[in-house]
Amino acid sequence: MIRYEEQEKAFYLDNGRITYCFGIVKGQYLESRYFGRKIRRYRGSARPWYFDRGFCSNPDPEDKIFSLDTLPQEYPCMNQGDFRQPAFVLQTPDGRRVSRLVYRDYTILPGKPPLAGLPAVYAEQPGEAETLAVRLEDRVSGAQVRLYYTIFRDYDAICRHVEVENPGSESLWLERLMAMSLDLPRRDYDLVTLSGSHLQEKVPHRRPVSSDTVLLESSRGASSPQQTPCVILTDPNTDEASGQVWAVNFVYSGDFQATVQAGQYGGVRVQMGMNPLTFGWELAPGQRFVSPECVLVYSAEGLNGMSGVFHRLYRQRLCRGPWRDRLRPVLLNSWEAFQFSIDEEKCLALAKQAAELGIELFVLDDGWFRNRIDDRRALGDWTEDPDKFPHGLARLADQVRTAGVAFGIWFEPEMVSYDSDLYRSHPDWIIRSPACDPILSRHQLVLDLSRPEVCDYLVESVARVLRRTGASYVKWDMNRHITDLGSAWLPAGRQRELSHRYMLGLYRVLDQLTGQFPEVLFEGCSSGGGRFDAGMLYYMPQTWASDNTDAVCRMQIQYGTSLLFPPVTMGSHVSAVPNHQTGRTTPLSTRFAVAMAGNLGYEMDIRTLSEEDRAELRQQIARYKALRQTLQQGSFYRLLDPCRGNDAAWNFVSQDGSKVIVCQYRVSADPLRRTTAVPLQGLDPEAVYRRQSDGALFGGDELMYAGLSDHPVRQDFTSLVTVLDRVEA
C-alpha cells in the first residue's frame, strides 16, 4: 500500500480507493502533492504556477523561482521563508526559533505502531495497515522529526502524527507542534466545522473558505463542546449523498488548535495539533516527544460517505475491549429522577421497576458518596454515604442484580471540592497558581493529574468501589474546565507542559482501570458532550452526548455528532416532560424515536409513570432490543438536516443489508399536512423490501430515488419509525 517512486521522488499511500502522495523537492523539502480518490500517478497536473514573485524568499539565491512561501508543504517550519502557519516551532538554547527542516530518509513498517501513552487507531493484524515514517532533521538544532503516516486496507483513512527527538546535549523547547499539516491545491472548498456549547453540542457550520485564516481551538483542558477538533472541507456542491470531502479529526481529548488558512496564491493549508496557548515542552537531551494523531478521511460520496468511514474505523479500530463488539444494554440513570436526593430505598424501587420494563442496567449517578448533598462538596472522597445507604453499596448492588438488572455507578474522578477530606489532606494536589485563589466552577477544583501519586489515588479509589460493588458500568464525568494552569509538582520551566501532562496522566489512569476491569462498560461524560472526542472513545466506547435531553434539541445534537461518531457511541436517553432544560413537552413516542437512534437509556422517575406510559415503555424497550443490532452496529445515513427545516430524517442499514430502519421527525405541525418523501440511502437498488407495519413491498431503487413518505399527523413533535426487511425479489 506504500511505495516510494525514485524517479518522481514521491511517496504514494494507496489502498485501491484513496491515494495520498507527497514528494521530495531539491533533495530536502517535502511537497504536498495529492490526497483524494485513487489515481494511478500524480504527475503535477494541479501544481501551482511558480515564478519570481515579490516578497518571496529564495533558499537558493540563484533560483528565484523557488520559494517555500509558494511550495505546498507537508510539514513547514518557522523562519524558513514560508510565511503561512508553521507546523513546527522549536526554541534552541540560544533563545532563537530558527529551524531548517530537511528530509533525511524513510522506513516502511507493517501494521501500525502504537503511540506510547496516547489513544490511537490500531490495526489488529499487520496486513491491515502499513506505516511510513519519514525522518527530517533540523539542521539548526539537530532535532530529529519523524512524520508518521498509516494507510489502512479496509478504511479510507490516513493516520498522521509526529515524533520529535533531541539527540543533542542541551535541552530544546517545542513551542508549536502540529500533528499534521497539509496543503491542498484549491481554494474553492466549503469548510464545515462543529461548534456549540453546553446543551447545544456539535452544531455543524458551513461556509466557503475565504482569503483568511479560520482558527478552531480549545484551551479549556478538554476538547470541549465549544469547538470540535475537526476540519471538514468539501467541494462547494457536496451534500450528504454526493461530492468530495476531505476531513481531519484529532484523536485527543485536551487542548488543541486547528487552522484552515487560505494561501496568498491559491491553495489551503490545514493544520491540527497542540494548542500553542497552553502547550510548550522541554526536550531534554535524549528525550522524545510523541504527538497525538490525526485521522484524515477522504470520501467521494458526500458527508455520509465521510461519516461512514469515521464510524466504521472508530467502532472497529479505535474502541477496544469486549464491549467494542457487544450489544450495549438499555440503562436507567438516576440523575434526572432524583439528582442528589437518592437513597437505598428509592434506588432499589427504581431498579425493580426498571427490570419489569425490560431495562438491563441501573446507573447510580451523582450523590452516592459521603457528604454529597449538593454540588458544593465531597468530590474526591469516593466512599459511600452510610446515611443514604445504611446497608452499604455492595448490598444495594447485589439487590439490584437480584432484581434483574446490572449495577452501574457514576464518578467524577478528576475533580475535588474544597470541602473534602482529599483537599484537606492534599491541598497541593490541585491545579492552581500559588499567587492567587483558584477560580471555581460548579464549586470544584481540578486535580493535578501530572502528579503520578494523584493518578495512583484515582485508580485505587475507583477500583476499590468497583471491586466492592461488582459494578459492570461506570459513568466517568468531568464537569468543569481548567483555569489557573499551574502545578506544585512541575518545575517553573515545565509549567507549560501541564495541559498535556494532565491528559497523559488521565490516559494512564483510564488505561489502567479499563485494563483491570475489562468487563466494565465505561461511558464518558463532561456535562454532557463536553469531551465527546475520538481520544476518549479509545478508553470508553460510549459518551453521554448532551445534558439536553429535549427530543427536538437532541435531533440536532445527534445529527451533528454523527458527522464523526457512530450512533452506538452516543448515550441518548428518554427523559420526563416538560423537559428540564427547555420546558418543552414532546410525546413519549418521539422522545423514544430520537433516543433509539443512539445508545438507548431512560432518565426519569419511572415509579410515577401512568400505566399507559409504563406499557409504552415496555413496548419501546422490546422494540429497541429487536432492532438494536442494526441500530448499534449497522450503517447510519443522515437524510434531512433538522437545523435547516422543520423535518429531520436518517436511516440505518444492518451490516448484512437485510434490515433498514428509517426515522422521520417533524418539529411543528403543518396545517397543510404536506408530505415529505425522503430518499433513503445505503440500500441495494436491485433488492425488494417489505415494510413491517403493513407488509407493503418496495424496490430498493424506488426507496432510494423516489423516497419514502412520512405520515400526516396533526400534532407538534411527531415521529415515524419504519422498519423494512429485505426480501428475495
Q: Which of 536, 542, 572, 728 is nearest to 650 (CA)?
A: 572
Smallest distance, ligand GLA to C-beta of residue 547, A:
5
For ligand GLA, which stretch binds (CB under 6 A), given 147-155, 520-528, 611-619, 645-653? 520-528
Report, in Å, the least distance between residue 477 CB and ligand GLA.
5
CB of 528 vs ligand GLA, minimal distance in Å: 5
**CB-hemisphere CA count at 13 Å for 724?**
29
Min CB(118)–ligand GLA separation in Å: 25
Q: Which residues pair with 273 in a beta bridge?
A: 178, 257
Looking only at the bridges linking them, the beta strands covering 406-411 and 473-476 are parallel
Q: Binding to ligand GLA by residue 525, rule CB under 6 A?
A: yes
For residues 220 and 482, the answer to whether their CB atoms sit within 8 Å is: yes
Task: Specify whether the CB–CB gap between 276 and 341 falls below 8 A.
Answer: no
Please give the C-alpha separations between residue 103 and each of 24, 59, 75, 134, 324, in angstroms, as whole numbers. Answer: 8, 15, 10, 8, 40
- Binding region for ligand GLA (CB under 6 A) out of 166-174, 445-453, 523-531, 576-584: 523-531
Which is nearer to ligand GLA, 154 or 375 (by Cβ)? 375
Residue 106 burial (10 A CB sphere; 0-12, 13-18, 19+) = middle
CA distance 436 to 440: 12
Pick the closer one to ligand GLA by CB: 30 or 364: 364
Is 529 a binder of ligand GLA (CB under 6 A)?
no
Instruction: By CB under 6 A, tell whether 523 contacts ligand GLA.
Output: no
**Whole-Å CA distances, 316 to 187, 228, 283, 290:** 34, 22, 35, 24
Residue 421 designated active-site? no
How many binding residues for ligand GLA (CB under 6 A)?
A: 11
Per-residue mark of binding to ligand GLA, 316-335 (x: CB under 6 A): -------------------x
Taking the least distance from each CB to ligand GLA, the nearer of 448 and 477 is 477
- Are 103 and 30 within 8 A, CB to CB? yes
Tell the smallest beta-carbon distance from residue 470 to ligand GLA (Å). 21
Closest residue to bound ligand GLA by CB: 366
- Of 307, 319, 30, the closest CA to residue 192 belongs to 307
Q: Give the nearer residue to ligand GLA in terms of CB position, either 382 or 410.
A: 410
Residue recorded with cell 475507583: 462
Least distance between ligand GLA and beta carbon 412 (Å)? 7
Residue 382 CA to residue 300 CA, distance in Å, equals: 50
Select 70 or 417, whichever has its Cβ closest to ligand GLA.
417
Total count of residues recorded for the chain: 729
Question: Which of 86, 263, 528, 560 is in the footprint of ligand GLA by CB under 6 A?
Answer: 528
Could you say which of 527, 562, 620, 718 contacts ligand GLA (CB under 6 A)?
Answer: 527
Which of 156, 366, 533, 641 binds ligand GLA (CB under 6 A)? It is: 366
Q: Is 414 in the site for ligand GLA (CB under 6 A)?
A: no
Q: Which is nearer to ligand GLA, 246 or 410 (CB)?
A: 410
Instruction: Please choose, out of 21-29, 63-71, 431-439, 521-529, the segment that lies near ligand GLA by the rule CB under 6 A.
Output: 521-529
Query: Is residue 533 involved in binding ligand GLA (CB under 6 A)?
Result: no
Q: How many C-beta neighbours within 10 Å does residue 271 have?
A: 26
Q: In what order do the strands lie in the sheet with 2-5?
A: 2-5, 10-14, 18-25, 29-37
Rounded to a whole number of angstroms, the minimum distance from the CB of residue 446 to ligand GLA is 15
138 counts as binding ligand GLA under rule CB under 6 A: no
365 binds ligand GLA (CB under 6 A): yes
Catalytic residue among 156, 366, 533, 547: 547
410 touches ligand GLA by CB under 6 A: yes
Q: Is 423 in the site for ligand GLA (CB under 6 A)?
A: no
- In the chain, the N- to C-terminal Cα span, in Å, equals 39
| Cα–Cα dist 516/514, whole Å | 6
Strand partners, 690: 697, 725
Nearer to ligand GLA, 79 or 339 (CB): 339
Q: Which three cell numbers stand for residue 684?
A: 441495494
Write down the least CB distance from residue 479 to ligand GLA, Å: 5
Question: In angstroms, what is the minimal distance from the CB of 525 to ligand GLA?
Answer: 5
From 477, 523, 550, 641, residue interacting with ligand GLA (rule: CB under 6 A):
477
Kindly state whether residue 575 participates in binding ligand GLA, applying the rule CB under 6 A. Answer: no
Sign of the dihedral defined by the CA atoms of residues 583, 586, 588, 594, in that order: negative
Q: Figure out which of the listed residues 19, 234, 417, 479 binds ligand GLA, where binding follows CB under 6 A.
A: 479
Nearest Cα residue to 174 out of 287, 256, 74, 80: 287
Please say which residue, 130 or 547, places its beta carbon nearer to ligand GLA: 547
Q: What is the DSSP letter of 440?
A: P
Secondary structure of 241-305 in HEC code, one letter for each residue: CCECEEEEEECCCCCEEEEEEECCCCCEEEEEECCCCCCCEEECCCCEEECCCEEEEEECEHHHH
Question: Annotated catalytic, 547?
Answer: yes
Looking at beta carbons only, is 67 or 526 nearer to ligand GLA? 526
> Smallest distance from the beta carbon of 258 to ligand GLA, in angstroms?
25
Residue 329 and residue 628: Cα distance in Å, rounded? Answer: 10
Tell me whether residue 247 or residue 525 sits nearer to ligand GLA (CB atom): 525
- Rounded distance, CA 163 to CA 173, Å? 14
Q: Which helix (H) or strand (E) holds 626?
A: helix 611-633
Site for ligand GLA in 68-127 (CB under 6 A): none
483 touches 445 (CB < 8 A): no
Choosing from 255, 477, 641, 710, the catalytic residue is 477
Question: Shortest distance, CB of residue 539 to ligand GLA, whole angstroms?
Answer: 18
Residue 147 binding ligand GLA, by CB under 6 A: no
Name residue, grid cell 436517553: 573
The answer to whether 547 contacts ligand GLA (rule: CB under 6 A) is: yes
246 vs 368, beta carbon nearer ligand GLA: 368
> Where along the sequence are the contacts to ligand GLA (CB under 6 A)?
335, 365-366, 410, 477, 479, 525, 527-528, 544, 547
What are the residue numbers of the active site? 477, 547
